[in-house]
Amino acid sequence: EIHTAIFRGAQNPVLLLLYEFLMSRIMGNRAVKVRFEPDVELMRNSHKAIVEAILNRQADAAERAMIDHLHSVGMDFIREASR
């Protein structure tokens, strides 16, 4: 799973624990899970930008790509949860 690999690669156990906690809460809410349909193409492009920046050892680009990704996914989630 891409998220777990990135957090493990960062060698920061707090990030991994935070991710696992958030995902258990999000995915544990069946009503949200059923309605949550993110833009798959946008998500794919976000993941690609993050991974490419990491592989190219471009920390600033990886950080920017991650922030953009979190903002996009967060907005998708908020939009769906408010329906």
DSSP the chain: -HHHHHHHHTT-HHHHHHHHHHHHHHHH-HHHHHH----HHHHHHHHHHHHHHHHTT-HHHHHHHHHHHHHHHHHHHHHHHT-
Q: What is the pTM of this model?
A: 0.74
pLDDT, greater one: 75 or 69: 69
pLDDT in tens, 24-69: 877 776 555 555 566 788 889 999 999 999 999 999 999 999 999 9
pLDDT confidence of residue 27: 72
